[in-house]
Amino acid sequence: MATIRLGLNNVDHERLNRRVRLIINRAYGFHSRNAALGLIMLTLGPIKHVTPYNNMNTSDP
């Protein structure tokens, strides 16, 4: 129901999760978590997260 009514899709989140895991595997030898996080942000750029409530059509009762 959520897919049809709200237009939600899990593909984008799964794709992002897989890319982050690949980057973490590449950054395995880094000395800090901040370095790995920096590589993720550098590679993927700004990440825009839209919640389901931002996607809802307000004219629908």
47 falls within a domain: yes
What is the domain extent for residue 40? 2-55
Residue that the structure tokens 């997260």 belong to: 49
How many folded domains does the chain comprise?
1
Residue 60 in domain: no
Asked if 12 and 50 touch (Cβ cutoff 8 Å), the reply is: no
The pTM of the full predicted model, rounded to 2 decimals, is: 0.58
> Could you list the pLDDT tens digit for every one of the 61 residues in the chain?
666 776 667 787 788 889 989 988 888 888 888 888 888 888 888 776 666 665 555 555 4
Sign of torsion, CA 53 54 56 58? positive
